Amino acid sequence: MQKRYLGKSGLKVSALGLGCMGLSQGYWPATDTRQAIALIRAAVERGVTFFDIAEVYGPYLNEDVVGKALKPLRDRVVIATKFGFNIGNDNKQQMLNSRPEHIREAVEGSLRRLKTDVIDLFYQHRVDPDVPIEDVAGTVKDLIAEGKVKHFGLLEAGAQTVRRAHAIQPVTALQSEYSLWWREPEQEILPLLKELGVGFVPFSPLGRGFLTGTIKAETTFAESDFRKTVPRFSADALKANEKLVILLTELAAERHTTPAQIALAWLMAQKPWIVPIPGTTKLHRLEENLAATEIILTPADLQKITQALETVNIVGERYPAALQAHVGR
């Protein structure tokens, strides 16, 4: 497995990480613990060293299962987790909370569940409008000084927020959605990260499964599946966005690969400090994704994709209205 550095931080990770949210949340039911542990350890054996989780996934289930899976392999991996939400007594009510005292509570809980004495990369899960980002960065800076955290990250933060945080405590990585069907980061974020030397970690690099070509306009989602509430996954939007999948399928056929592999290879070709974190619950999909690291798209390939994308108008919002407030900037 190839390795990449997240910006200028010195944090070296596998060129492709594993997003673990889907093991515990979003696409219910949660994966059986034994199966989840087996998948995580299989990823390590195949060269994955970068694992992305959060206390709120489950909640708490994700950190528990990843902690169990990686405890005997701790010296071989980089674990990234997140803080920034209150979790209600029913484990469902979630409200933004990045107050310094809450961050300190969160780090202790994460360390305990992950069965480790240090968190490699600690992200603010969403920007909290009620807490100055300088206070957040300052708190994580203190945690780094105390040896409980190694690196600071932000998630879905806007350019000015990143700049302000970076001035207090260098930001190692920004995580945001980025893929062939969500390219907003190209406008302001990628140029800023290059300027500051910050790594970029795209989540949903396969468009929550859409870019694999396995989701059609007639696809139905279970009531417990997050995608059922997402406007971009309505039947009309899926039909309208089908043109993008057709393009990917044609490119994949030319290269004797899969649409998912082309989508991941395209992302990794954008910048050497981009590390996508596709998630999966299936070993064969994990292996398919990892094979994308061996695909080198030529300048001609990339130009062809760019030209084709100019003809595709993506339809549908990426979050339901109720969650827009959590996107953060």
Query: Which residues are part of the catalytic machinery?
Result: 57
CA distance 63 to 24: 9
CA distance 84 to 90: 17
CA distance 19 to 53: 7
CB 5 within 8 A of CB 11: yes
Kind and range of the H or E run holding 69: helix 61-70
Q: In the chain, helix, strand, coil percent, each to 5?
A: 45, 15, 35
Helices 189-196 and 159-168: crossing angle in degrees, nearest 10, is 20
Which residues, including other chains, have CB under 8 Å from residue 295's CB and lie 6 or more apart?
255, 257, 261, 262, 264, 265
Q: Are strands 12-14 and 3-5 parallel, antiparallel or unpaired?
A: antiparallel
CA distance 153 to 121: 6
